[in-house]
Chain A
């Protein structure tokens, strides 16, 4: 069975600090990878996605992620966080080309201090 792990449960940063959130998945086949963000009280929104090609993908709001196949990782990065980035971040994998069966990680809560 597929699974997704996220390295940190809660990350606290000051504004302008750099961010890296870890994500690892377990699946031996072809995967499609996603990062979603959930702002307080809101629904999940897509930050970025990787299907194939350049392993460094850029998303919205200055986020980027790097797919490292050999490490089964898809870490999310942002050079300089803002207070408005305070949210919960979910890594997700779709490795089953049937029915959009996403497997989500447990989430990482990011708190950015002004």
Chain B
């Protein structure tokens, strides 16, 4: 089954404790990206990647890092999480620049 898989689905952590949210897709898509969803703001892009070892900042990259060492994986790293990073995070992948994006199930992160 074609899918984008994120882990974990739910995470509660404390301020300053590094964490990684994993994302994997099995559709051989070149493009992958991370979004955060906040009430009233819709989804905002954090980082995106056009291919292996090619990443770039989206609209809200501060406080986040990503890496793309393999085509299928695109982890999101929070080196020192803060409470304002409490949000719902979605990973997405797509075959082409202008085609639809396929979304993962989401990771609900709470930073206390």
A-side residues, CB < 8 A to B, are: 4, 9, 32, 34, 36, 42-46, 49, 51, 90, 92, 94, 97-107
**Bound form: Cα–Cα A32–B94 in Å:** 14
Say yes or no: is B66 at the interface (Cβ < 8 Å to chain A). no
Q: Chain B interface secondary structure, helix, strand, loop or mixed?
A: strand
Across the interface, do A100 and B33 meet the contact criterion of CB distance under 8 Å? yes
- Nearest CB of chain B from residue A22's CB, rounded to whole Å: 14
Across the interface, do B104 and A43 meet the contact criterion of CB distance under 8 Å? yes
Across the interface, do B98 and A43 meet the contact criterion of CB distance under 8 Å? no
Given the complex, which residues of A lie within 8 Å of B59, measured CB to CB?
A: 103
Given the complex, which residues of A lie within 8 Å of B50, measured CB to CB?
A: 98-99
**Bound form: Cα–Cα A105–B41 in Å:** 7
Complex: chain B residue closest to A96, CB-CB: B97
Given the complex, which residues of A lie within 8 Å of B58, measured CB to CB?
A: 101
Given the complex, which residues of B lie within 8 Å of A51, measured CB to CB?
A: 98
B-side residues, CB < 8 A to A, are: 4, 31, 33, 35, 40-45, 48-50, 56, 58-59, 90, 92, 94, 97-101, 103-106
**Bound form: Cα–Cα A99–B35 in Å:** 13
Across the interface, do B48 and A101 meet the contact criterion of CB distance under 8 Å? yes
Given the complex, which residues of A lie within 8 Å of B98, measured CB to CB?
A: 32, 51, 94, 97, 100
Task: List 14 A-B pairs, Cβ < 8 Å.
Answer: A43-B90, A45-B103, A49-B100, A94-B97, A98-B97, A99-B48, A99-B49, A100-B48, A100-B98, A100-B99, A103-B59, A104-B35, A104-B43, A104-B44
Complex: chain A residue closest to B94, CB-CB: A100
Across the interface, do A107 and B94 meet the contact criterion of CB distance under 8 Å? no
